[in-house]
Copies of this chain bind each other. A is one copy, B any other.
Amino acid sequence: MTTMARSETPFVSTLPGRYYYDQAIYDLEQERIFSQMWVCVGRADAIIGPGSYAVVTIGRESIIVVRGRDDVLRAFLNVCRHRGARLCNEASGRLKGSIQCHYHAWTYGLDGRLIGAPNVLSDEQFDRALYGLLPVALEVWEGLVWLNLADKPAPIADQLNETIVERFGDYAAFARYDVGNLKVGKTIVYDVQANWKLILENFMECYHCAPMHPEFCQLLPEFKTGIVSDYVNGEAARLAEHVEAFTITGKASRPPLPGLLPEDLRQYYGIVLQPNALLNLLHDHVVIHWLVPDGPARTRITCDWLFDPAVMAREDFDPMDAVEIFDIVNKQDWEVCQWTQLSMGSRAYKSGGVYVPVEQHIRAFADFVLERVG
């Protein structure tokens, strides 16, 4: 556990209130953050088998993530190139080898190429190569699907690995969780009336844990003190002595993840992967949140609880003791984020609030936002 070195002014300002409600700032964020960076849109293992797809949203773009005949995941703007009709109207499903528009039956391969267009495909004046689906850059990182709407996306490792190494000391410590091979045991989607940044900032500090999260603090008593600052280099909070696992009962009902070392046990890591994913690593399961901002004052949050597939295969597998505790924490957090959203337009928050020393590292996030949107 680290205590931040105190500068001469440890009590620094937060972002001004307008950053949390102004549509113009939100639009800039969408353009310069969510349309330039890799954005997490869910688990790759939710899209199994050729033709399986999910429809995801980044800003105003609807995007099809579809597994090809070659088992490769690809992403395309969900828009027919002919007259613009939305191609896939369900949240997920399975296509029979191609993507066909309902409007005029233009048909695209799972690789996006235009392969059918009644009466015109073979017209010599029609250049079918111009009318393939518009691709979106896609990477699978630790089992998570990340998309990038930029013209020239940077390598995804540039965005994520530094955060991981800084947090764990080295990538191997994180890799031992083998997140990419865990499977989803439970998913809950939350509709939160708060700006996406309030939700990230809430996750970045545990100064609020004592007053807000009594159940959480009983399992992880370090957080009760409110003096925990950001952990780096593999530091992690540890389960209370009497506690076996991070569950609603405190009892263990499943073995540790198979790749972990003895020193990994009984630890809790919380990590923000900017701009929109939160990872929570426990020794017997992993909880991932990914956020979809939907306007300045609304965020949809998907929370996936991941488990070792060998454990999930057991007849008596039941994820609920892990789900219940984090669902409680989630709801506590979303509620206070909503209360905070309500004040952002007040003259009291025109110049923002103040970070106490243990929150100062959140300032780096504010700087990240300010650098991009000004």
User: Which chain A residues have a beta carbon within 8 Å of chain B's beta carbons?
Assistant: 6, 9-11, 14, 17, 60-62, 77-86, 89, 102-105, 117-120, 123, 125-126, 131, 134, 149, 201, 207-208, 210-212, 225-227, 336, 339-340, 342-349, 352-358
Contacts and interface: CB of A to CB of B under 8 A. Distances in A.
26 contacts: A9-B125, A14-B83, A60-B345, A61-B347, A77-B347, A78-B343, A79-B348, A79-B349, A81-B348, A83-B354, A84-B344, A84-B353, A85-B339, A102-B336, A103-B211, A103-B336, A103-B340, A104-B207, A104-B226, A104-B356, A105-B210, A118-B210, A119-B226, A119-B358, A134-B347, A149-B347
A57 to B, nearest CB: 11
B77 A353 contact: no
Contacts of A201: 83
Copy number of this protein in the oligomer?
3
A212 to B, nearest CB: 7
Contact of A86 (B9, B81, B149, B339): B339
B125 A10 contact: yes
B77 A346 contact: yes
A348 B117 CA distance: 18
Contact of A131 (B78, B119, B208, B354): B354
Nearest to A358: B119
Contact of A348 (B120, B134, B211, B353): B134
- Among A120, A149, A225, the one with the most B-chain Cβ atoms within 10 Å of its Cβ is A120
B339 A82 contact: no
Given A11-B126, A340-B86, A340-B103, A81 B212 contact: no
A356 B134 CA distance: 19
Nearest to A211: B105
B353 A104 contact: no
Given A83-B14, A119-B358, A102 B212 contact: yes
A79 B14 CA distance: 14
Given A61-B346, A85-B343, 17 more contacts: A6-B125, A10-B123, A10-B125, A61-B347, A62-B342, A77-B347, A79-B348, A81-B354, A83-B353, A84-B346, A84-B353, A85-B340, A103-B211, A103-B339, A118-B211, A119-B226, A134-B347
A84 B125 contact: no
Contacts of A336: 85, 102-103
Contacts of A225: 119
Contact of A346 (B62, B207, B211): B62
